[in-house]
């Protein structure tokens, strides 16, 4: 087996193991394209991707605070507008068509649906993104929670980018009105493939007020690998 093919297989294993959001699958066309490049430049770029670059300054201080960013009775936050339109046209395999009234609310705010919707009783969880990287990993993505069709809050205060500190790994709607989520935690020395820790956060929907409100049980707990 050639050195290029060996390195390509190594890269493919790292890429699949480092799926930044379990809700989004890797398109087969992207998995296959790893084997189509040749030459020193392509090999060098592929080998560099999973291990460099070191993380910039942390954007996940909110996981260590005790402040709820969600407010009851507010509109769904608008998706960020990207100059040039972003990379989503090349990532249609990870886009989900709208099927629920909550989907329509999210897309009306400019978001592109991704991953599966989660429904338990009157609670619905929808993931939306505004962009994707060259491997179709989500960029500027957010998770929206609804209660009986009413927007109740987001899982993070700002949109997240895959493979950055505070980016969502997974969310579990395990009971009506109750969720848990896992977030990547990087230090500046961590390679992009491998965060050195994860934060775990529980949420509960408060239905006692005039409108339902998603309450994160901050601060999150963080465990090193």
Confidence at residue 84, expressed as pLDDT on a 0 to 100 scale: 81
Number of domains in the chain: 1
Has this prediction a pTM greater than 0.75? yes
Is 166's pLDDT higher than 60?
A: yes
- Give the integer Cα–Cα distance in Å for 14 and 8: 10
pLDDT digits (tens, 9 = 90+) for 172-225: 999 999 999 999 999 999 999 999 999 999 999 999 999 999 999 999 999 976
Q: For residue 13, what are the domain limits?
A: 3-224
Distance CA 189, CA 159 (A): 23
Encode burial over 129-143: b for 16+ CB neighbours within 10 A, e otherwise.
bbbbbebbbbbbbbb
Please compute, for residue 1, the number of CA atoms within 13 A of its CA located in the half-sphere on the CB side. 8
């Amino acid at each position: 087996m050639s050195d290029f093919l060996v390195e390509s297989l190594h890269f493919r294993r790292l890429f699949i193991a480092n799926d930044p959001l379990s809700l989004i699958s890797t398109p087969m066309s992207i998995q296959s394209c790893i084997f189509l490049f040749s030459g020193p430049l392509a090999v060098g770029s592929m080998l560099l991707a999973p291990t460099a670059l070191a993380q910039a300054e942390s954007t996940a201080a909110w996981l260590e605070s005790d402040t709820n960013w969600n407010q009851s009775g507010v509109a769904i936050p608008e998706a960020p507008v990207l100059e040039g339109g972003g990379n989503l046209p090349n990532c249609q395999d990870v886009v989900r068509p709208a099927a629920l009234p909550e989907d329509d609310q999210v897309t009306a705010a400019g978001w592109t649906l991704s991953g599966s919707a989660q429904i338990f009783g009157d609670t619905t969880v929808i993931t939306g993104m505004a962009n994707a990287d060259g491997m179709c990993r989500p960029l500027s993505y957010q998770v929206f929670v609804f209660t009986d069709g009413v927007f109740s809050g987001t899982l993070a205060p700002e949109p997240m980018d895959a493979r950055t500190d505070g980016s969502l790994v997974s969310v579990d709607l395990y009971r009506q009105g109750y969720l848990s989520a896992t977030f990547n935690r990087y230090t500046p020395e961590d390679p992009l493939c491998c965060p050195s820790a994860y934060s775990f956060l529980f949420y509960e929907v408060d239905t006692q007020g005039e409108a339902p409100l998603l309450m994160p049980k901050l601060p999150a707990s963080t465990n090193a690998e």
